[in-house]
Structure 1
Amino acid sequence: MKSLSIIIPHFNSKDSLIVLLNSIPNNDWIQTIVIDDNSNFNIFELAENYKHIEIFKVDKNKKGAGAARNLGLEKATGNYLLFADSDDYFTENAFEIVKNKINKSFDIIYFAPISIHIKSGKPATRHLSTILLIEDYIKNKNKEIFFKNYGPVSKLISTKLITDYSIKFEEILTSDDVMFSLMVAYYSEKIEVSKEVIYVITESDNSLTKQKSEKHEDCRFQTMVRYNDFLVSKGLEKFQGSMFPHLRNAKKFGWYKFWYILFYCKHNNYPIFYDYKHFSRILKRNFTT
């Protein structure tokens, strides 16, 4: 059994995947798994140069990152898990940091990522919300703040936690990682945070998070509905996710959809904003020059 399994879902991003694989050392304690979601090239060609990488392919038609990650979970043999997106990469000293943590007893360690614009290489902002959560945890030791950390990357997760609570990714169009991250945060008891940086998130115009089709937006909204309903069922309604992004994006598809989502949120007591500070930031961002 390996100490660490790295799970990488992939679709049609060969060049960036190679950058990511080059950031992962060939060490006997690391299992690196690439799950290809039926790309338009032969993913197994990479095996010639990366013989230590385990490559699998999702059966038949494209099924999305959730299905790929779930297959990765089935193939993982490590005591701990790291997830990586195929357009991101690890820092130069990431695995020295991870190795120093790997023998500790914990459910999850949250690391502080950084983000860059993939074309310019300049700093981006996709990591800032995670940094705020880490700083808040260090100050208040309140694990519920991680209910707002929606992605699986830059986290070292116990495989036993995933197995004990049968935690899986949703196999949906987008936002497949939101409920997974919620379950990990909810069931974790032994939590550590680190300001050490192990992961670089890239930002580009083609990112899935920037896709705004109506089907994508409907999927994101319904995912947040399930997310908030779970928190309410556990008596944790004060940590529900904000519905403002879904209202903002709904306007692009007509006022009927906007009013439908607004009334639906009001009927179910879903918060439009996290709090007054969140409302003030949104107001300043959208109505000041």
Structure 2
Amino acid sequence: MKISVIIPVYNAEKYVSQAVESALGLEEVTEIILVEDKSPDHSLQVCRKLASRYDRVKLFQHPDEKNHGASATRNLGIEKSTGDFIAFLDADDYYLSNRFDAERELFRNPEIDGVYGALGVHYYSEKAKEQYYPLFKNSLTTVYQKHDPEDVFPGLLNMRGSFGLFSIDALTVRKSSFKKMKTLFKPNLRLHEDTEFLFRLSYYLDLYPGIIDKAVAMRGVHENNRITKVDKNRTKPGVSRVILWNEVNNWAQNEKAVPENIKLHIERMLRSFEIANVPRLKKWTMIAKYLLTDYQSIRSGLYNINFRYTLVS
């Protein structure tokens, strides 16, 4: 196996060395692609030192040397990669020694497009643990049981009950399989871009479970995690979810092969987050409207945990 590990680097001078060294310790990794995204800290200098020290580490920036976000940065990494397989790693996360144990066996089957595993949690400080433990706890981010590939897409969309989810850090994809997708990561998304990508990836590709009962990589949690921050111009964290589901809905409505029941489910998920993120009076007005026009939409929303939580806020 020849695996290219794509690491987008932004404001990660304290952590990127650990990420790189965790990947270097795995014999399947033939190259590590660092794409530095105009960090305000000293990440570029750290990346340069890593690239000069290790032959397998390659450093790139965007042609204009400006900040383009995680989506465009990962896309550039894929473009520059030379391996037969692609794995991703955030610059503040790291791999464990068993990261590719399942992949070695599963990818012997040429029909397997991708393999996913479980992600653990590591708190870099007590302050970070105090701040984010209610969100991440010490839980695995994983799919709770093994599923056939055709069940992954509806499962991630919350159509299969307690399906769970997997992180991009625990995903490995056959590079040639990306040809099945019209678009890779969408540069217009600055939050939840990996979630949107995984939705579409699981629709177009056959993804199989690898090690899902113990971690193959660790999410590094610190006080400045990008994913836990919300644009200051937004009044509620749920607004970013509306943007995510609106993007997913636009894609589904324009993808003719997506079954109508799935399109309807996606539209209802979007509605539930839209309703949850408007003022209380308008919220109940919208609920009354959908009670008259589409009762099942409201029922779908009411049984969505995020919607229930924000409905009473």
Identify the TM-score tier after normalising by the shorter chain.
Answer: 0.7 to 0.9
Equivalent residue in structure 1 for 2:175, among 147, 159, 179: 159
Q: Structure 1 residues 207-216 or 49-58, which shifts more? A: 207-216
Check conservation: 2:117, 2:166, Cα contact below 8 A: no
Distance in 1 (CA, whole Å) between partners of 2:106 and 2:205 is 17
1:149-198 superposed Cα distances (whole Å, 9 cap, x missing partner): 48522111121221232331111332222332111100123533432531
The structural deviation recorded for 1:14 is 1.6
Describe the SS at the equivalent of 2:38.
Answer: coil
CA RMSD after TM alignment: 4.1
Q: Which residue of structure 1 aligns with residue 124 of structure 2? A: 118
1:1-289 alignment runs, 5 A limit: 3-25=2-24, 27=27, 30-40=30-40, 41=42, 42=45, 43-58=47-62, 59-105=64-110, 106-120=112-126, 125=136, 128=139, 130-131=141-142, 134-138=143-147, 142-143=151-152, 144-147=154-157, 149=165, 151-172=167-188, 173-189=190-206, 191-195=208-212, 196-215=214-233, 218=239, 220-231=241-252, 234=258, 235=260, 236-237=262-263, 239-240=265-266, 242=269, 250=277, 255=279, 259=283, 278-279=304-305
Check conservation: 1:8, 1:33, Cα contact below 8 A: yes
Describe the SS at the equivalent of 2:74.
Answer: helix
The structural deviation recorded for 1:80 is 1.5
Check conservation: 1:147, 1:185, Cα contact below 8 A: no
Q: Structure 1 residues 266-275 or 18-27, which shifts more? A: 266-275
Describe the SS at the equivalent of 1:205.
Answer: coil
Among the aligned pairs, what percent are the same residue? 17
The structural deviation recorded for 1:258 is 7.4
Distance in 1 (CA, whole Å) between partners of 2:209 and 2:86 is 15
Distance in 1 (CA, whole Å) between partners of 2:59 and 2:299 is 42
The structural deviation recorded for 1:25 is 2.4
Describe the SS at the equivalent of 2:4.
Answer: strand
The residue identity in structure 2 corresponding to 1:93 is N
Unaligned runs of at least 5 residues, structure 2? 159-164
The structural deviation recorded for 1:199 is 1.0
What is the TM-score when the length of structure 2 is the normalising length? Answer: 0.72
What is the TM-score when the length of structure 1 is the normalising length? Answer: 0.77
User: Judging changes above 3 Å, is the alpha-carbon distance between structure 1 residues 215 and 256 closer, same or farther for their aligned structure 2 residues?
Assistant: farther
1:189-222 superposed Cα distances (whole Å, 9 cap, x missing partner): 3533432531111223322222122556555422
Describe the SS at the equivalent of 2:16.
Answer: helix
Q: How many residues align?
A: 279
Distance in 1 (CA, whole Å) between partners of 2:281 and 2:60 is 40
The structural deviation recorded for 1:130 is 3.9
Distance in 2 (CA, whole Å) between partners of 1:37 and 1:262 is 41
1:63-116 superposed Cα distances (whole Å, 9 cap, x missing partner): 111111010110122222111111110013324444344433311212011123
Check conservation: 1:3, 1:102, Cα contact below 8 A: no
